[in-house]
Amino acid sequence: MKYALITGGSRGIGAAAARLFARRGWGVAVGYCRSGERAQALADELSGLGVPAMAVQADVADQGQVERMVDNVLEKFCQLDILLCSAGVSHVGLISQIDGDEWRRLFAVNVDGVHHCCRAVLPHMLGRKSGSIVTVSSMWGQVGASCEAAYSATKGAVIAYTKALAKELGPSNIRVNCVAPGVIDTEMNAHLSPSDLAALADETPLGRIGTAAEAAAAAAFLASDEASFLTGQVVCPNGGLVV
């Protein structure tokens, strides 16, 4: 059996991935920051599928909390094969309107959080010379978005970090890949009006926005043995909006 830790696992792409991993027979640790009840409910749901599951709390921006989270997972599962870094926050607004605290929080969660999680799981994965890490970026990390300069910058950093870490860890048989979704129907995009969503769908070659399950499927593929010769790659479930 494989075991996965999913940060940001209580909602959106993370929750969809947790359900998909569990259906494949993998044990799942649902990482969360504040949504404890939701994370525990999801862990209970996954346990009902007959797989080991647990909810674990950490603010990924805090290295100490992340280290304790990983220790808790390893104490229960004794093994960790997959890390999915799905925790993230967004900010929409003119660059002149974002203050220093907001800027630093975006980088602390979206960039530092990925680093803290990777750093925490690596001693275990390096000891086993095996593991798969999947980060979650965004198409805006590839091309940038007006009024989302700070968010785009964090997601571009995630892509660069993924590619560099893949080169560093490849000789240890640890793969590192990235999912860069397009417009996905999640709570993070709840600020978009129906007309905005309709306009984005119209701009997308496939004519619609994506689902959390579709983005999760890309992450699950990258984490699986089917992608055993893929590392340092960015897979883009975006309906063709960015090519």
How far is the C-alpha of 90 from the C-alpha of 84, rounded, in Å? 18
| Among 3, 32, 151, 161, the one annotated catalytic | 151
**46-53 long-range Cβ contacts below 8 angstroms, 24+ apart:** 46/18, 46/19, 46/22, 49/22, 49/23, 51/1, 51/22, 51/25, 51/26, 51/27, 52/1, 52/3, 52/27, 52/28, 52/76, 52/77, 53/18, 53/22, 53/27, 53/28, 53/29
Please name the amino acid found at residue 115: H
Kindly state the DSSP code that residue 109 receives in the 8-state scheme: I
- H, E, C per residue of 127-192: HHCCEEEEEECCCHHHHCCCCCHHHHHHHHHHHHHHHHHHHHHHHHCEEEEEECCCCECCHHHCCC
Angle between helix 36-47 and helix 12-23 axes, rounded to 10 deg:
20
Has 3 been annotated as catalytic? no
Residue numbers annotated as active site: 151
